[in-house]
A and B are shown apart, each in its own frame.
Chain A
């Protein structure tokens, strides 16, 4: 049975969820479904949130935007861009990564999946930009968390929980996001030919300098280029960008020669990093979150096993294309104090390897209790994440 529910009002949604709770039906909350290939396939009823679309309130000088959770990401992005602003966590459409057309991703989906781009390093992730939400919990109750102002500590910070909740706590109908001014000028400076260790050192040095680097990434030779590229992005007002680029040349003089990337090349470089295009052809794709200094040893080990990879977030995010033994990846991430998410994999692997890195038992138990706080009957547990003993 793969039916689809398409409510368009909070009342209908609330009824649908309450009804599912009564009948024990599992609901897979979906936006554009661009991430449905993450995790184990499930046959739960699809709860399509795209009926909750539209811009609700946008006052650019307040830096606050309220939209329906099912609004296409592309629509939100073009609206704020038209006002010289941006979603500073740089969410992106994963559709193409899974061989689907672009344009399907919704704002609710990217927030629930905690999607962020290279700017996450300095400007924060979805968690840092979600100010308020309205949602229907697993009991069919409508509730709100947070508020439509930037600074707020009234009650628990529920928006943090909802960002990255992967449809397991409540169905969000409305989101209020913090937006930021789009930088007036941008420059990308690169060093070619660095090894992972030296790339890490250069990025660490740059991030510790006064150059106020906003993003730092590294694409190695093994991932398709003729030589490795270590890139640093500097953004802001024109005079400041020029001064900081000059400063960076000085700061990194012991690390290599800096070149300024022409604008079009810079744009395609950052898109490649964000959308992981150099690794697009691999069957199995992992996302490893670690402290940057631990990255070089990890990628060296996997490169010798045939993996391809790239660094974003100054090395704190490793995208790893590795079709070999999945059992090696998580222990390596754990030894480095981090964790690994299985983003893309053949179906056979996804039915046995959980998408999210397993947590230690005490934390897993706590998460379970928190999920039950929002969804007491477990109707949002579709079995997709393989961590729910009583899910189907």
Chain B
């Protein structure tokens, strides 16, 4: 692997026993894990190409314990890596050899459901789906729905600003979180936001969401819940070319329709999904769209008709409307099984996550096909077409020498292409360690310095989840002095009124 992680601190490693003893005093019983074989399950997250057992794992049960652990680690100069369910696809929860891995799995309670104000207060270890489960009997749901929703934790969702197929209409995590309780690296416990829509002062909650565990440990989350839509219907539309599928997507939105979800698969993805899930996808198409409309019955009926009309105008070769919920779910079953389906046709795959302006889709796919040929690796494309978030999956075999490296280099080329056409490195999976070294493709040194100064405002010792997100983590004092200015020219000519 090509990635360099921060050099472990020998002085800290030498004090391992003492540090573990101190952690045991804070979190008694089975809350501290230190045996090598017990550390193994924690050595990686969803980005399994990278593995590193932590120095120790601590599983606190209360905010006070989290605070005490952080205060101790801060005072002793010990690094801390927060971990939710460990499903990150960017290595955000990858441990460090000289760091304490702070797991939130015991924070698994739904604390309050407030239907009157349409919100739920939960602990960070609660899974995404469990929030919906807790409120569905009253007809509500929690909208952001990452495909990993049975497993991933809401704390991890907050840290990654997770999205999902229904985020086109309902927004991503950041649009659905009202408040958090946060423990900072020095052990200070603060609350940002609350049960109201806006917080007083700077929107610090807005930077906490998506901060990838670098600014603080989230110990409580308040989320908005919404009434579950009365009905949902989906249309499956096949096209003879990517161009016409992309035009159809643009026209749907151009007509003022914001579907609940709008997903696209290319030919190889359709074939892989159909072979795996047998849901009746048309196999003679270059692109397949699943457009889901939800809301009151009258709205669904009307919009389904509109989408069919737009699809026909874009020369759709097949159009099928779900007649009942079972059929709608079948349409989704193939798309949702994209990962395991690809797992069946290739020993390993590497899932990318760039976003592009939608209008560039045909060109980008063509260039990805060219890269596929030159890297000698196949690629399968699924994407959140409504918001331009691509998930190309690069197929490789880690047992074949050099293939992992080739897959990574292919992936990096795709992400550079996304930035080149005006897009970004990651739409929902986060930078983590995976895209860390590509950050300069998108941001200048000055841009990154402004981001890192925020890190310094929260964690001046740079002890919380270091080695993630930033290609170079400058010491905070050094960053304060860094001053890049185009010259010492004053502004004598500037007009003054």
Contact = CB atoms under 8 A, between A and B. Distances in A.
B384 interface: yes
Contact of A370 (B255, B301, B384, B454): B454
Contacts, number: 302
Contacts of B302: 237, 239-240
Contact of B161 (A157, A338, A339): A157
A148 B424 CA distance: 9
Interface residues of A, number: 104
Contacts of B443: 144, 154-155
B118 interface: yes
B310 interface: no
B453 A374 contact: yes
Nearest to B356: A149
B195 A151 contact: no
Contacts of B388: 149-151
Given A164-B202, A204-B116, A147 B227 contact: no
Interface in A118-155: 120-121, 124-125, 127-128, 137, 139-145, 147-155
A243 interface: yes
A270 interface: no
A143 B426 CA distance: 20
A316 B427 contact: no
Contact of B204 (A114, A140, A149, A367): A367
Contacts of A15: 489-491, 494
Contacts of B469: 155
A369 to B, nearest CB: 4
Given A155-B439, A289-B196, A363-B190, A182 B115 contact: no
B133 interface: no
Interface string B411-431: 000000000001111111111
Given A125-B197, A150-B387, A374 B175 contact: no
Interface stretch (A6-14, A33-41, A186-194): A6-14
Interface string B347-366: 00000000111110000000
B451 A293 contact: no
Classify chain B: how many residues form its interface, as a range. Answer: 35 or more
Interface stretch (A209-217, A220-228, A275-283): A209-217
A256 interface: no
Contacts of A141: 446, 449-450, 483-485
A3 interface: yes
A21 B458 CA distance: 24
Nearest to B421: A149
A243 B197 contact: no
Interface in B473-497: 480, 483-486, 489-491, 494-497
Contact of A124 (B171, B188, B447): B171
B454 A371 contact: no
Contacts of A209: 227
A235 to B, nearest CB: 11
A240 B296 contact: yes
B292 interface: no
Given A147-B424, A210-B229, A362 B190 contact: yes
Contact of A12 (B163, B172, B491): B491
Interface stretch (A57-65, A70-78, A297-305): A57-65
Nearest to A120: B197
Contacts of B194: 291, 337-338
Question: Which of A209, A244, A363 has most B Cβ within 10 Å?
Answer: A363
Contacts of B449: 141, 143
Given A114-B198, A291-B196, A370-B454, A145 B447 contact: yes
Given A154-B424, A240-B295, A362-B190, 15 more contacts: A16-B494, A19-B490, A61-B250, A62-B357, A128-B175, A150-B355, A151-B384, A154-B431, A155-B443, A163-B206, A165-B202, A209-B227, A243-B299, A289-B196, A316-B117
Interface of B: 114-119, 139-140, 160-161, 163, 167, 171-172, 174-175, 184, 188, 190-192, 194-207, 209-211, 227, 229-230, 250-251, 253-258, 295-299, 301-303, 306, 355-359, 384, 387-389, 422-431, 435, 439, 442-444, 446-451, 453-454, 456-458, 469, 480, 483-486, 489-491, 494-497
Interface of A: 3-7, 11-12, 14-16, 18-19, 48, 59-64, 84, 114, 120-121, 124-125, 127-128, 137, 139-145, 147-161, 163-165, 168-169, 180-184, 204, 207-212, 236-237, 239-240, 242-244, 247, 289-293, 313, 316-317, 337-339, 341, 356-360, 362-364, 366-367, 369-374, 376
7 contacts: A61-B253, A157-B174, A160-B206, A161-B206, A168-B202, A210-B230, A362-B188
